[in-house]
Structure 1
Amino acid sequence: MKVRKLLFVVVSLFLLLQQSVFAEAKQEKGKHSASSTMKVSFYSEALGQNMRMNVYLPPDYEAKEKYPVLYVLHAYKLNEDHWFQALHITEQADTLIAAGKIEPMIIVAPEIDNSWGMNSADEKKIWLGDPTDPGAWYEGRYEDYVTKDVVGYIDGHFKSDKSRNSRYIGGTSMGGYAALHIGFRNTQLFSKVGGHAPAVFQDELWKPLFDWMYPTEADRNAKDPLRLAATAKLNQTSVYLDCGDLDEFKIATGKLNEILSGRKLKHYEFHLIPGGKHDDAYWSGQMASYLTFYGGMDKK
């Protein structure tokens, strides 16, 4: 009788131990890793020097073989930290991914200096201003830097989906101009393009800048987002354009909307936001809408 009781106790303990191990394994399997961000320094062939960028990897990054990539370009006088620190894109991406509202994606914020994202000279240098001034204008092969060096580095070092359908580009202010300029000129690379209160202009708003950007009509036709919006092949491109109604670039952005509204695009959205100014509060307040455009589950 004692032996039978002892055997019963041993078997019961064994079964309980098995259940505990199974429960722990199940709990371990159900764990989710958090997102991560990192700063990368890498050599740019186009600019002939090391450049920086911030990279966001979504939660459970190791769970999938490849991810879409969103490239975001910063405003004038700012740097690669703008979208990550001031605009809080990573926190909002975490929230939307957790809620199932956007797909997990890699987000890349490269340093573009005060360049407007254009190929303007063979060598990187300052063309206007003191090198110690954060407002000094830079020239160089910045379009090549973004489209070849930055994209090439990400595709070579991270689990990016290399198809154009999974590669997006957007920007704020000067970065918005750059994103439209680069996106419209490189539709073979980017399927979605966003200009978020972009610093586009129709006239000589800043004459030295205007003359530098467009020394000839041919240059303007090849570089101006307003001209490119009318001539580039955009039928397979999705575009998001927005601006606050208190923004100094509202008139030019409205003109850009008129042009794009008359084009046949894969998808187009324009938003004029009441009370919106040209500042971080505006952009961070619109961030969920931006991310939903780029990564929304119903907008592939």
Structure 2
Amino acid sequence: MNYIYEMPAEMLKETDKKGRVELFEYESQTYDESSEKLHKKAYVYLPYGYDENKKYNVLYLLHGGGCNHTYWFKDFPETVTILDNMMEKKICDPCIIVTPTFYHNEEDQHTHDESRCENFMHEIRKDLLPAIESKYACYAEGNVSEENLIKTRKHRAFAGLSLGSMTTYRAAFYNNFDLFAWYGPFSGCCGPFGDHNKEVERICTTLKEGKEKGYELGFMFCGNGDKDIAFEEHKDIMEKAVEKTDLLVPGKNYDFYIIPGGVHDIKAWQLHLYHALQVFFK
């Protein structure tokens, strides 16, 4: 792929062929000590010309710490314009993009509890995927049994930024590898307090055990700027993982895209998304 380091101006111009963003509400549980029933919200991007009789790949896309489901599409509406242009210009195939939140509610959003990252694995599997994929035109075709969700994993991707990048590793990759084939961790893996060697071990084990069960990695697209606060830890972990396993092959099913001068901000994350969508579902 030819990488670019600044979003082309044409991607930010409004197009006539606009997708639509709608609010989606569903019930979930916290799956922790309280295990209370929650009323959750996500936004769903449906591409221009969305047709209920077709089948679309789905990307689940997360925000970072202290934000929520509004981040990608409402707080930064140019993300929607970029997606509209990418699909109109056939830079990527039309797909459905879902922006949920790993927080329980607005009050929870102000906690600094990283256990949310891993705990979200239960909601993904038991509540979020079944709710979304029984409503929208996905490859699951309305059959949201665990068996069928596993069977259709090649049509599902998971990505996120910052704390959402950590959640991509912990909730989607390590714990739901049978449900997703494509991953986009943008800006970080374990945070400043994590254990690099432990993460490397988890990455290698996930790939090895997945392959033994017949689950291949479609692509892991890591993105970071070289001035991003999360750059050094992310790069170090992934370099060690590539050395340790032959199941991550740069250029084939893995890449680490680095923006020169890129920092921890939406401009970088939109560029990561722009590139990730060109390798997902291929």
Give the structure-2-normalised TM-score: 0.74
Quote how far apart the aligned CAs of 1:199 are.
4.8
| Aligned residue number for residue 39 of structure 1 | 23
Distance in 2 separating the partners of 1:107 and 1:66 = 13
Secondary structure, aligned partner of 2:187: strand
Higher mean alpha-carbon deviation, 239-248 vs 84-93, is at 84-93
- Pairing 1:200–2:190 present: yes
- Quick check: which has more Rg, 1 or 2? 1
- Pairing 1:94–2:70 present: no
- Pairing 1:284–2:270 present: yes
Determine which of 232, 238, 242 is the counterpart of 2:206.
232
Distance in 1 separating the partners of 2:44 and 2:274 = 19
When residues 97 and 253 of structure 1 are mapped into structure 2, their CA distance, relative to the original with a 3 A threshold, is same
Secondary structure, aligned partner of 1:189: coil
Distance in 1 separating the partners of 2:108 and 2:131 = 29
Secondary structure, aligned partner of 1:137: coil
Quote how far apart the aligned CAs of 1:43 are.
0.7
Quote how far apart the aligned CAs of 1:81 are.
1.1
1:183 touches 1:193 (CA, 8 Å); kept in 2?
A: yes
Quote how far apart the aligned CAs of 1:248 are.
1.7
The alignment covers a number of residue pairs equal to 235
- Pairing 1:70–2:51 present: no
| Aligned residue number for residue 159 of structure 1 | 137
Distance in 2 separating the partners of 1:183 and 1:242 = 16
Distance in 2 separating the partners of 1:146 and 1:133 = 18
1:169 touches 1:194 (CA, 8 Å); kept in 2?
A: yes
Unaligned runs of 5+ in 2: 1-15, 141-151
Quote how far apart the aligned CAs of 1:156 are.
0.8
- Pairing 1:269–2:245 present: no
Percent same amino acid among aligned pairs?
23
Distance in 1 separating the partners of 2:242 and 2:189 = 19
2:24 touches 2:41 (CA, 8 Å); kept in 1?
A: yes
**RMSD of aligned C-alpha atoms?**
2.8
Quote how far apart the aligned CAs of 1:271 are.
1.4
- Pairing 1:178–2:167 present: yes
Determine which of 142, 146, 171 is the counterpart of 2:120.
142
Give the structure-1-normalised TM-score: 0.70
Determine which of 95, 99, 106 is the counterpart of 2:96.
106
